[in-house]
Structure formats: C-alpha cells, structure tokens
Structure 1
Amino acid sequence: MPTPPARPAATPASGRGRKGPPGRRDSRRPEPQRQRQQRAGAATARPSDSALRAAAARERERQPPFWFASRLVLVLSGQRPVHSLLRHTRSSAYDQLTGLATHAPLRPRGADRSSPAVLEAHGSRPRDGVIEAFARIVTGDRQRAMAFRLELCPDHRWRCAAVELDGRSAAGRQ
C-alpha cells in the first residue's frame, strides 16, 4: 500500500497549523489610532455629573450617621421589623426603639402615601468612640427630626445607644 504524499509544512502566514483561534477580522474593531485617541481622551475626560452624584451618594450612605438614620427610618415607618436592628443597638436603645416602633410614627398616612426618606444626617464626635447624630426626615409634606447616639463597641462596630424622634424619647410618648 502506497503512503500518502507528505503535506507541505504549514506556515503562520497561511493560517493553517496554528494553535489557537483564527485571527479576527471585524470591521467594528477600533483602529489602533482610535485606541490611542481614546486612551489619551480618557485621561483628560471628566466624569459625568450623574456619575459624580452617584459617587457622592455612595459615600454618604457609608457614613455611620446616614446608615443608622436610614435603618431607623425603615423600622419607625413599619417597613422593617424592630429586631432587624437588634445587633446594631444596645439594650437600652433597643427598648426605646421598641417603644417608638409600636406606634409607627413615620408610617405614611392620609392622601400622600410616599415613603419617608432621610434628607440629611450628620454627627459630631464629642469624644473618641462616640457620635452624637441627627437626621432630617421627610414624610409626605412634613419634615421630622431624629437624634441618636452611636458608640463604638469593643468589637469595632457602631451601635446605637439612644434614639429620639421629634425631641421626645419613647418614655415621653407613653
């Protein structure tokens, strides 16, 4: 039986015998000059206003006063159960929060059923490991005030130590 003729060795230019996927020939692929222009433009390009606003909102939400104010609003409006803040509060503050939440003081009422929202939340540090914070909350067409105290615990977590809504604690409401 005769042996088949030997094939000529494949060259890289012919594309046969290559290891790997075939070369891409796509008209949508950017030209090298265009890529250079894009890289040069990216260094001088300014982020859009919406991207800057989104970054500022993410930074604001990472701050302990805003984070706690948002969670407290969810509990006091009846959107979340009180026990969702159990590991984020000290026992005395949990009792205050339970007393406030039974009345759901931030629950939307009347014709305007919009959810309450935190307009701003800020805090001051009277000493290391303590933040005295306040928040302005909007419920419908009304603005409310909330004050709370955060303490840094030995496990390096901020925990709420006291809560007041509209200048009154839960003891004053009963």
Structure 2
Amino acid sequence: MTTCPNRAPAPPAQPAVLSARPHRPRGTVRDPRPPADPRQQHRPRRPRHPRAACSGGPDRDPREGLSVRFAHRLVEVLTGARPSGQLLRHTTLDCYGQLSALVRAGTLRGPGGAGRPRLGPVHDRSPSPGAVEACVRVDLGSRHHVVAFRLEPRGPSGQWQCTAVEAR
C-alpha cells in the first residue's frame, strides 16, 4: 500500500460507545409523565394477536359482517376500481369465471364514468348453516343495479368463498 505524501494519517479508530438512552426516531416526543401505577412501568407487554381486535368475543357469529365486507370488494371489482385477481382466493373456480365474464361485459360500468358507486343495505340470509346468500343495490349515477352472491365455507380451513355471483 502506498501512502500519499500530502495527506495526514487517519486518526486511530475509536471504540463504539453504546448509549444508555434507547433510540427514538426523529420527530417523536417522549411522554414525560410516569405511569400512574409504578408497577406497570416494568411489566412486560403481552404480544397482541393482529386479529384480536376483529374478533368481538367467543359468542360472536363469525359470519357477522362477512357479506357486507365481501359486497364492497365485489362491487369494487365489478366497477373496475379493484383488479379481479384480488378476489381469486375468495372465490371458487366456477365463480371466478362468472365474475370475469361480468367484468369483461362491463355490467357495472356506466358510460363516461358514472362516478363512485353507492351501495345500499346488504340483505343477507342463511338458507342453511353452511351458506349465506346476499344481495345489494348499487347506485351508479342515475342507474341502479343489483348484485347477488352466495358464500360457503370451503376447504380444510373452512374459509368462506363465493360460489356464485350475478349482477344486473
């Protein structure tokens, strides 16, 4: 290795010093108030399951709100606001074929972009314990459409999937 005659030698490396203060990203403010209960100060936090907030409790019906959530996503696919591939794992193969045909036909696409769709109340019923049938009215500008679908638990995990869809 050659040294440059005009350069000063580099200073010796300093050992790394670890700060006793934890790292806090810029712009965040530490709460100066101590906790009300001093025992809570050193208590480790329990990890929270990400879906814990979604499960309303052990007595809550898992189908509650299922048809409303699926109706919103289905209408977004039918109007072109969401790609149809996002519903692939939530539909059976036959239903995905029906959905793709409805998207290609442009059933819920108004001329000249009718604006954002407004969904009416989702009416659902359970003809059997393993099925939910639902329909929803969709307002696109001055036009009104109806979307109906059927959900059933499928596969070893019992995940709810759409087995039939129809839009007019």
User: Taking structure 2 as the reference length, what is the TM-score of the superposition?
Assistant: 0.58
Corresponding position of 2:108? 106
Figure out how many residues of one structure are paired with residues of the other and give that number.
Answer: 106
SS at match of 1:102: helix
Where do 1:14-53 residues align within 5 Å? none
Corresponding position of 1:86? 88
Deviation of 1:117 after TM superposition, in Å, equals: 2.4
Corresponding position of 1:73? 75
Deviation of 1:156 after TM superposition, in Å, equals: 2.8
Name whichever structure is richer in helix by fraction. 1
SS at match of 2:135: strand
Corresponding position of 1:159? 161
SS at match of 1:138: strand
Unaligned runs of 5+ in 1: 1-21, 24-61, 167-174
Q: Is the 8 A contact 1:108 1:116 kept in 2?
A: no
Q: Is the 8 A contact 1:106 1:116 kept in 2?
A: no
Deviation of 1:76 after TM superposition, in Å, equals: 0.7
Q: CA RMSD in A?
A: 2.0
SS at match of 2:105: coil
Cα deviations by residue, 1:113-162 (Å, 9 ceiling, x for unpaired): 31112211121111111001111111112221111100012413211000
Corresponding position of 2:138? 137
Larger-gyration structure (1/2): 1
Where do 1:5-20 residues align within 5 Å? none
Unaligned runs of 5+ in 2: 1-31, 34-63
Deviation of 1:104 after TM superposition, in Å, equals: 2.4
Runs of 4+ in 1 over 6 A off after TM superposition: none
* Aligned-partner residue type, residue 79 of structure 1: A
Matched-pair identity in %: 41
* Aligned-partner residue type, residue 74 of structure 1: E
Deviation of 1:93 after TM superposition, in Å, equals: 0.2
Corresponding position of 1:119? 120
Aligned mates of 2:114, 2:127 — CA distance in 1: 38
